[in-house]
Structure 1
């Protein structure tokens, strides 16, 4: 009897550990622009903090690199006119988090890979609301974009995102009234407002998010690029070679100027001409005043 109980206990323990491992294993949300599991070295046009370990493919980040944000997939961010740059930045943070972050799997339903109730930091939600307070949005009374936006394609195949019948454009202040209502409603049940600073997710701070996931699952070490790693390497190389090239050109110009100055002759003066052979033949050496006269040349002088 004891042996059977021990075996059953061991099997239940293995099953429980396996279930936990499967639930906590790094994976990506199910989407048109996302991988099944995170990997590195994608050439991302935006969201470069996730280059070392991303859930997204490059194609979606080309849309997220536009400022202000205009369209992501079927979602038209210009539903009620262009967003301000400040509001656009907040939305880009959120899209990068959702599309690219490898650190959202603790809030994922394993069977469907659907995310739910991601705890967004209150500080981020409040900043999001503040920066977008005067921007316009097309949303029903509760501000849920999932029900207030009419996503699809027009006859030409272009994505559309018009307000549904009875829904009008209003600013964020009228629609939400606070950062808490904004985070709790704009994407349905995807996010929730959290004041727990040690366990909330901040879309603008991937390093913090990595630490939060480590506290949940210490066996998984996340990988987030530091600023110096994901800064555009090509741009840095171009700047370095540009500076070196400029220094070389300046040095060459100075050397050329000094050489020209050294070889330049004073104006109005020229080197004396070399005498001709005829002139050389007529030259005679004149005796100096101290040289005694030759007696033979003086013999014709009459003596007294």
Structure 2
């Protein structure tokens, strides 16, 4: 039988690798409030408007992201007293990024929650975004380090678990990295990369200059360790007639 030259198999493997990289670009998570695929949303509300040209969230979701206790997750920012406005704006922006961004594909992982099938893990957050978040929230009050789990939900919203103590963020999260990485179960990763570097995700950006996170997602998709499939995966693309040559 003929043997297909290795160069052909190599080219096919490269095609599969390229397709794998493209598959994580411009996509929405399979989660509670996300759209099936990203697209324009001209009426996104306030802080979420940065993603209006291409969003994974609807206008209603963007509006609810700004509420102290919205129907999105029945989560109450003010569980230890009123959260300062300058701190709350970061949590709103965090929610907008999570719900609206189509550029988180390289960090999407499977999740075993009842309310979502996918989550983000270790998204490299720009140094300035994380540090300003911590600076503006260091005097806010909370009773928990990880806000994803461990709450008392008996009243239908999150309440501090019995035995916990409300205290300033600066004690619960001594460093910016503690806040950004621990509060949502390592959804974010604190980095030394700066805004505009093309190596970190920005929570905040000027949409008039475009969305910088498009290039960041592309960079990590092209450089992720698991982006290239095994060479045999290329065989999956071959038509039956060509497979018969092996």
What is the TM-score when the length of structure 1 is the normalising length?
A: 0.61
Aligned to 1:210: 214
Aligned to 2:170: 173
The structure with more radius of gyration: 1
Q: Is the 8 A contact 1:40 1:51 kept in 2?
A: yes
Partner of residue 185 from structure 1, selected from 179, 182, 187: 182
Which string of whole-angstrom CA distances, capped at 9 and with x for unpartnered residues, describes residues 134-154 of structure 1?
111120xxx11113433x463
Equivalent residue pairs, number: 207
- Structure 2: stretches of 5+ with no match in the other structure: 112-116, 223-246
Give the secondary structure class of the aligned counterpart of 1:125.
Answer: helix
- Structure 1: stretches of 5+ with no match in the other structure: 219-304
Deviation at 1:42, TM superposition (A): 4.5
CA distance in 1, matches of 2:14, 2:213: 30
Deviation at 1:132, TM superposition (A): 0.9
CA distance in 1, matches of 2:9, 2:175: 53
Aligned to 1:133: 138
Aligned to 1:162: 159
Aligned to 2:22: 21
Indicate yes or no: 2:123 matched with 1:121: no
CA distance in 1, matches of 2:168, 2:90: 16
CA distance in 2, matches of 1:169, 1:148: 15
Q: Higher strand proportion, which one?
A: 1
CA distance in 1, matches of 2:4, 2:93: 54
Aligned to 1:259: none
Deviation at 1:130, TM superposition (A): 1.2
CA distance in 1, matches of 2:200, 2:89: 20
- Map of 1:276-287 to 2, 5 A cutoff? none
Q: Is the 8 A contact 2:22 2:221 kept in 1?
A: no
Deviation at 1:187, TM superposition (A): 0.6
CA distance in 2, matches of 1:119, 1:217: 13
Q: Is the 8 A contact 2:41 2:58 kept in 1?
A: no
Deviation at 1:214, TM superposition (A): 4.6
Q: Give the alignment's Cα RMSD to 1 decimal.
A: 2.5
Q: Relative contact order, CA 8 A, sep 6+: which one is greater?
A: 2
Deviation at 1:190, TM superposition (A): 0.5
Which string of whole-angstrom CA distances, capped at 9 and with x for unpartnered residues, describes residues 87-110 of structure 1?
011111111111111111121237
